[in-house]
A and B are shown apart, each in its own frame.
Chain A
């Protein structure tokens, strides 16, 4: 079957010519690269990718097909998807369909057969930028299209991806009740909480502090999520109130950033973020280094964190950016990386036990 031509037009004017896969058409998003060699399914369904076009640096994608079990949410939130080569004959005992079929189903526009390493280098050198994937001829109205590309911004990220209803997940024999604040949570965060015997109530990001407290949680889990953390003033205000409530709180990724903002710190955008399963993070107290799964474009500026509020508990060994905060005046700790993994290493899953211990101490 002949594949249709497709293009990537970057905000810097550069054009990559490749082939279409998944859905045909035109889409604009923020182009980021991820270095994971496995885990494309998790990438495709991670709500944190809302509004973005993900580029896989590993060239062979779709090898093991698509299975529903490994989804991190029910949808693909990406605006577009780029792979060097996708596999038309996947092989794995759980495979249900090809990645091409999945993208079509999810209405996601894909691009393949381009020099993904060159694209990665562009993003590494010039930073994350917007781009357009289109199956239309991009050369004809390049300037006009560029205008559109440059004007694009990710908006209403959290409010779009968060659930609309409160959902309870019972856990037989559970000792603790955790409210998982859904900022675009990955399913495996819920899964990990259930595994450590927590009853979980998933609540939309739009709920009030009173709604949360009404659940009488033993602890609150702040999930990952998409977009610029500063775009969420209401949630930040809620977190300020929750900080005072002294309920044990564990934050991951966007949850980590929002908690820092609620406590007076600032966030900034990284040049090209951390996306992949191989980021080394050092735990300050033990001096141990863990390999972590990460997916974020923003980071907490550790210099802006008031000294009496919290201390840096983890930092990235490569670029020394803030990877975790231990709060001093409340039972709160947050991390920038993903201890729940999926995709990526499970080396830091012990943090869920730390959360349990915190709730135990609080009881």
Chain B
């Protein structure tokens, strides 16, 4: 059946802010969906609260609402837009859950809206634990012994029945939030309590623990006719017990005979058919390693992180095909866009192996609990393609940007053999390194398998890498050995290091095509990966498609991590679009499978490879680009600048020297002097003693940070010598090469500006002001456009400084500058001559296509030619408020206190005519429930008491009950406030923990001088708030903004819904 004639206007729901468990993969899926719908001539209405996405870009849909994703808002959008259909399966769990709620309430029927992609019955069969189990039993598919319970008592009783350990899986939570493995009654009590609370339907599944079984996944697609195929199989290197999002995953499955493979494949088809899914579906199985016993773990009847991975691993666009199915097509009617002449109803077959490696945020959160289990903790991932597992693993490990090129972790080399074997028992982010180290120490594969349960196949392959390292170290380096090392994915740099020899027979990588069909058919879409082999298909492709267009290489931003998120992918994609518009051939190199930039039809050519100097050299060798662009790929791409310049490659835009000038303290100071622009006093130091001396000279408080970092990594505010000493020790341990910067900390208003410059003129789309004062990382601050509290004089100064700096640095393209306004003076904090986190949202709300303009300028155009004027762009009618979103509930033991180190994983936007409404929308979108009654618990450091008082006073006036810790309570009582004092965590019960447990408290305001360490009182309060899903405010300014919003006599239902295509 072709396109359904009863579909004309479709509502697409996005997945909202990036959080752990729901990340960029849904921008990729949503973008494909929007395109697929538009291709069919359908009108698309899009709702997503996440402004950093490509899918909320004006070209992607006819109407775009960057509004909070909740039922009230969706209902109003449906009433306003009157779509005839709603696509539910492309917006992650968020989109799916909301769609189902709308359907179950009868709202969709009431408005004549058809539900596309999934129906409530299918979703219940897949997601309601009991119905799922019943469905599986009815079709003869084995499940793990389990029981759905709604109370802790029932959980404990069932665990007695099936014996410990048991796994707890809460129903309807993201990325398995609140789940875990319990080995005894005490642990089960804790996990089940937490899980029940987090589950929106207060249900958890208690399940027999089958840790150690193989974990195998299938991505399945089915159409309305019942045609069904599997796109890809995947095998988790980490056996059952580790969330698939935290596992190293290979595609296809490698340790299964055809019999086992077909058994599970048939089971997957059987399940998906029984559920009646029309679209994409992910099936996860546990397979007993020594028999044909298997069990279904879970089924996701929608596109997912795994489907994004499967799409990138095979070239098969699952989201696109799922969308076409949703609007009526059958698999055999949908062309395979990669080959151009086969159909979507065939199963991809691949002739390489893919490794997915997670990227965890533990470099930021040094005190976080790193143990991996059923709750996902990774913020992002990389994918590597190779002709051998060894090669793909080596590519993966250098793609995740941990500062290593091999599986050697320096700190492990110091440990004793016994400690290493002991460490194997830890299932955490470093396990692959520990295994490598153990193999190096001669621990045999059988022993490692016994401890880790990782299949011997993987361990033997890891051993091959260890053996190769040994051969290279022992020498001599023959050409044959060199070639084998290259096939195993070793960099020349590593080979030289290990062998101590120079390479006299260097080889360039060749490129092979990802074509969905293992070369059985000629493919049209040039999607390549590097390997060491004979035929170079990229070179052949280039020779066959020779044209006169200028070839431009764009470097992507690698894995999503805190500090470098989806915004940079947005920029890379826009850059590619602009290049194409200008008649250039746009070529992308990136390694992130979740993103739009690595979609096979985004660029003219895609190289799916690591972003290290050596890897990009090979691409440059085969492509011989006219120029390269580093500005849009975050620090990942910027880091390549020096290398590219040394190679003599034409870097478009701001020069390497200017980039360096902005990062190097000394040259930056000279530049500021020359422009007569002040900055907070600062010094550069290398050692602990120097740091203490410098801090005293400048005067406390001071800000410490290593140079060349992103997202405020390891950045702190120090108040005493002891602080400086403690943090210098951490910083030095992390990165010894770069100096540490010490600056005077000025507690003023933070202002941020993104500008586009062409060398002569500049254009500032807007000035943004942060709600939180300087000292909180800009990525974690609530950011407001246009600035609300700055005087014209201050604004003029900022504009003047921005122009001067852009000119002095000779910025060609984008520059991001952060200022602090302190005692009516403007100081420069930081200049980043590259794209920034705020570019997507400012582009959307101001209508200045920043990346597009910057790209065209890099190609030689001037601002004057481009039609957006110069100087400051006129302010629009709307106020936009960007609110950060955190994933603290996924990361145990992480202090939620905001500071100079970035902690947020994503962001949302509120847009309205007034600041107050925009802020309100932003807070709602970020997940604040905006409760106007209940309790407030206040516990603040002495410095903050004076300032917090009027804020709390207003909350009291609003009718909140005020609770406070003893010191704070005393302070408030003295001023006549009615406060209930509560005991500390360590005090006898009932103390503040009991209060938080009681459900009486809606807000916690908690600040402390010292934080981070999980043992500290303040951290315990804040963690408890996270566990109980209580809004916790750790900055006075955020608290004030929240109270302002709560005072507003409005609800979200009174506010205008803004279609951003119309502003």
- Counting CB contacts under 8 A, is A41 at the interface? yes
Q: Are A117 and B346 in contact (CB under 8 A)?
A: no
Pick from B182-190, B453-461, B791-799 the stretch touching chain A: B453-461
Give Cα A236–Cα B661 distance, bound, in whole angstroms: 83
Q: Known contacts being A58-B351, A120-B520, A280-B343, is A39 close to B456, with CB within 8 Å?
A: no
Q: Are A291 and B252 in contact (CB under 8 A)?
A: no
Q: Are A38 and B261 in contact (CB under 8 A)?
A: yes
Q: Are B351 and A89 in contact (CB under 8 A)?
A: no
Give Cα A110–Cα B178 distance, bound, in whole angstroms: 52
Contact with A along B426-467 (1 / 0, CB 8 A): 000000000000000000000000000001110010000000
- Counting CB contacts under 8 A, is B290 at the interface? yes
- Counting CB contacts under 8 A, is B497 at the interface? no
- Contact residues in B for A162 (Cβ distance below 8 Å): none
- Counting CB contacts under 8 A, is B277 at the interface? no
- Counting CB contacts under 8 A, is A326 at the interface? no
- Counting CB contacts under 8 A, is B408 at the interface? no
- Counting CB contacts under 8 A, is B342 at the interface? yes
- Contact residues in B for A33 (Cβ distance below 8 Å): 520
Give Cα A287–Cα B345 distance, bound, in whole angstroms: 12
- Contact residues in A for B230 (Cβ distance below 8 Å): 291
- Contact residues in A for B986 (Cβ distance below 8 Å): none
Q: Are B350 and A64 in contact (CB under 8 A)?
A: no
Give the Cβ gap from B1010 to chain A, nearest Cβ, in Å.
50
- Contact residues in A for B460 (Cβ distance below 8 Å): 89, 91
Contact residues of A between 105 and 124, Cβ < 8 Å to B: 114-118, 120-121, 124
Q: Are A36 and B349 in contact (CB under 8 A)?
A: yes
- Counting CB contacts under 8 A, is B211 at the interface? no
Chain A residue nearest in CB terms to B263? A346
Q: Are B349 and A317 in contact (CB under 8 A)?
A: no
Give the Cβ gap from B200 to chain A, nearest Cβ, in Å.
38
Q: Are A120 and B331 in contact (CB under 8 A)?
A: no
Q: Are B332 and A278 in contact (CB under 8 A)?
A: no
- Counting CB contacts under 8 A, is B521 at the interface? yes
With an 8 Å Cβ cutoff, the count of chain A residues facing the other chain is 55
- Counting CB contacts under 8 A, is A279 at the interface? yes
- Contact residues in B for A287 (Cβ distance below 8 Å): 225
- Contact residues in A for B254 (Cβ distance below 8 Å): 60, 63
- Counting CB contacts under 8 A, is A127 at the interface? no
Q: Are B258 and A117 in contact (CB under 8 A)?
A: no
Give Cα A160–Cα B1027 distance, bound, in whole angstroms: 72
- Contact residues in B for A118 (Cβ distance below 8 Å): 533-535
- Counting CB contacts under 8 A, is B286 at the interface? no
Give Cα A89–Cα B459 distance, bound, in whole angstroms: 10
Q: Are B347 and A91 in contact (CB under 8 A)?
A: no
Chain A residue nearest in CB terms to B290? A93
Q: Are A64 and B533 in contact (CB under 8 A)?
A: no
Contact with B along A47-65 (1 / 0, CB 8 A): 0000000000111100110
Give Cα A84–Cα B388 distance, bound, in whole angstroms: 9
Pick from A139-147, A223-231, A337-345 the stretch touching chain B: A337-345
Contact with A along B351-394 (1 / 0, CB 8 A): 11100000000000000000000000000000000011100000
The answer, among B341, B349, B350, B455, for a CB contact under 8 Å with A91, is B455
- Contact residues in A for B346 (Cβ distance below 8 Å): 278-280, 291, 317-318
Q: Are B332 and A84 in contact (CB under 8 A)?
A: no
Give Cα A114–Cα B353 distance, bound, in whole angstroms: 16
Give Cα A63–Cα B255 distance, bound, in whole angstroms: 6
The answer, among A38, A89, A280, A346, for a CB contact under 8 Å with B257, is A38
- Contact residues in A for B1035 (Cβ distance below 8 Å): none
Contact with A along B513-538 (1 / 0, CB 8 A): 00001111110000000000111010
- Counting CB contacts under 8 A, is B226 at the interface? yes
The answer, among A59, A69, A114, A317, for a CB contact under 8 Å with B352, is A59
The answer, among B225, B255, B265, B291, for a CB contact under 8 Å with A288, is B225
Chain B residue nearest in CB terms to A93? B290
- Contact residues in A for B455 (Cβ distance below 8 Å): 91
Q: Are B252 and A37 in contact (CB under 8 A)?
A: yes
- Counting CB contacts under 8 A, is B927 at the interface? no
- Contact residues in A for B411 (Cβ distance below 8 Å): none
Give the Cβ gap from B1046 to chain A, nearest Cβ, in Å.
57
The answer, among A60, A114, A278, for a CB contact under 8 Å with B388, is A60
Chain B residue nearest in CB terms to A94? B257
Give Cα A216–Cα B226 distance, bound, in whole angstroms: 40
Q: Are B520 and A64 in contact (CB under 8 A)?
A: no
- A contact face: mostly helix, strand, loop, or mixed: loop
Q: Are B518 and A92 in contact (CB under 8 A)?
A: no
Q: Are B257 and A120 in contact (CB under 8 A)?
A: no
Q: Are B258 and A41 in contact (CB under 8 A)?
A: yes
The answer, among A91, A288, A291, A346, for a CB contact under 8 Å with B457, is A91
Q: Known contacts being A58-B351, A93-B291, A117-B535, is A38 close to B519, with CB within 8 Å?
A: no
Contact residues of A between 314 and 346, Cβ < 8 Å to B: 317-318, 341-346
Q: Are B258 and A38 in contact (CB under 8 A)?
A: yes
- Contact residues in B for A84 (Cβ distance below 8 Å): 351, 387
Chain B residue nearest in CB terms to A121? B519
- Counting CB contacts under 8 A, is B348 at the interface? yes
The answer, among A16, A120, A345, for a CB contact under 8 Å with B518, is A120
- Contact residues in B for A63 (Cβ distance below 8 Å): 254-255, 457
- Counting CB contacts under 8 A, is B975 at the interface? no
Q: Are B262 and A288 in contact (CB under 8 A)?
A: no
The answer, among B289, B347, B352, B535, for a CB contact under 8 Å with A115, is B535
Give the Cβ gap from A338 to chain B, nearest Cβ, in Å.
12
Give the Cβ gap from A349 to chain B, nearest Cβ, in Å.
9
Chain A residue nearest in CB terms to B532? A115
- Counting CB contacts under 8 A, is A289 at the interface? yes
- Counting CB contacts under 8 A, is B512 at the interface? yes
- Counting CB contacts under 8 A, is A276 at the interface? yes
- Counting CB contacts under 8 A, is A27 at the interface? no
Contact residues of A between 1 and 52, Cβ < 8 Å to B: 16, 33, 35-39, 41-42
**Which of B258, B389, B534 has the most chain A CB within a 10 Å cutoff?**
B258
Give the Cβ gap from A131 to chain B, nearest Cβ, in Å.
16
Q: Are A124 and B332 in contact (CB under 8 A)?
A: no
- Counting CB contacts under 8 A, is B673 at the interface? no
Contact with A along B251-285 (1 / 0, CB 8 A): 01111111101100110010000000000000000
Give Cα A37–Cα B517 distance, bound, in whole angstroms: 11
Q: Are B351 and A344 in contact (CB under 8 A)?
A: no
Chain B residue nearest in CB terms to A290? B227
Contact with B along A276-318 (1 / 0, CB 8 A): 1111101000011101000000000000000000000000011
Q: Are B258 and A58 in contact (CB under 8 A)?
A: no
Give the Cβ gap from B970 to chain A, nearest Cβ, in Å.
66
Q: Are A346 and B518 in contact (CB under 8 A)?
A: no
- Counting CB contacts under 8 A, is B229 at the interface? yes
Q: Are B266 and A346 in contact (CB under 8 A)?
A: yes
Give Cα A38–Cα B350 distance, bound, in whole angstroms: 11
- Contact residues in A for B512 (Cβ distance below 8 Å): 117
- Counting CB contacts under 8 A, is A67 at the interface? yes
Contact with B along A76-87 (1 / 0, CB 8 A): 000000001101
- Counting CB contacts under 8 A, is A163 at the interface? no
Q: Are A70 and B257 in contact (CB under 8 A)?
A: yes
- Contact residues in A for B518 (Cβ distance below 8 Å): 35, 57-58, 117, 120, 276
Query: 25 interchain pairs (CB within 8 A)?
Result: A35-B518, A41-B257, A42-B258, A57-B518, A57-B520, A58-B351, A63-B457, A64-B255, A64-B256, A70-B257, A85-B388, A89-B460, A93-B290, A117-B518, A117-B533, A120-B520, A288-B226, A289-B227, A289-B332, A291-B345, A317-B332, A318-B342, A345-B347, A346-B266, A347-B266
Q: Which 9 interchain pairs have the tightest Cβ spacing?
A: A39-B258, A91-B457, A278-B347, A118-B535, A57-B518, A115-B534, A89-B460, A343-B258, A38-B258
> Contact residues of A with B, CB < 8 Å?
16, 33, 35-39, 41-42, 57-60, 63-64, 67, 69-70, 84-85, 87, 89-94, 114-118, 120-121, 124, 272, 276-280, 282, 287-289, 291, 317-318, 341-347
> Contact residues of B with A, CB < 8 Å?
225-227, 229-230, 233, 252-259, 261-262, 265-266, 269, 289-291, 330-332, 341-343, 345-353, 387-389, 455-457, 460, 512, 517-522, 533-535, 537
